[in-house]
Copies of this chain bind each other. A is one copy, B any other.
Amino acid sequence: MDVCFSPEMVTAHSLKHKTVVVADILRASSSITSGIQGGVPAIRPVEHIHRRHYWQDRGYLLGGERGGVMVDGFDLGNAPLDYLKAGAKKQKIIMTTTNGTRAIQVSKHAGQLLVGSFLNLEAIAEYLLKDRPPLLVVCSGWKGTPSLEDSLFAGALLDRLGTEYDAPLSDGARLAITNYRYHKEHLSQTVRNSSHGQRLLGMQREEDIEYCLQQSIYPVVPILKGEEIVALGS
Please, how many residues of chain A have a CB less than 8 angstroms from a CB on the other chain?
30
Cα of A142 to Cα of B2 in the assembled complex, Å: 13
Shortest distance from the beta carbon of A170 to any chain B beta carbon, whole Å = 7
Q: How far is the CA of A14 from the CA of B147 in the complex (A)?
A: 18
Flag A78-113 by CB within 8 Å of B: 1 or 0 each. 000000000000000000000000000000000000
Q: Check: A174 CB closer than 8 A to any chain B CB.
A: yes
Residues of chain B within 8 A (CB-CB) of A181 are 182
A11 x B171 contact (CB < 8 A)? no
Point out the residue from B8, B144, B146 that lies within 8 Å of A175, measured CB to CB.
B146
| CB atoms of A8 and B8 under 8 A apart | yes
Closest partner residue, chain B, to A172 (CB atom): B146
Q: Apart from A5-B5, A171-B195, what 8 extra A-B contacts exist at CB < 8 Å?
A: A2-B145, A4-B145, A8-B11, A142-B171, A146-B175, A147-B171, A174-B194, A175-B179
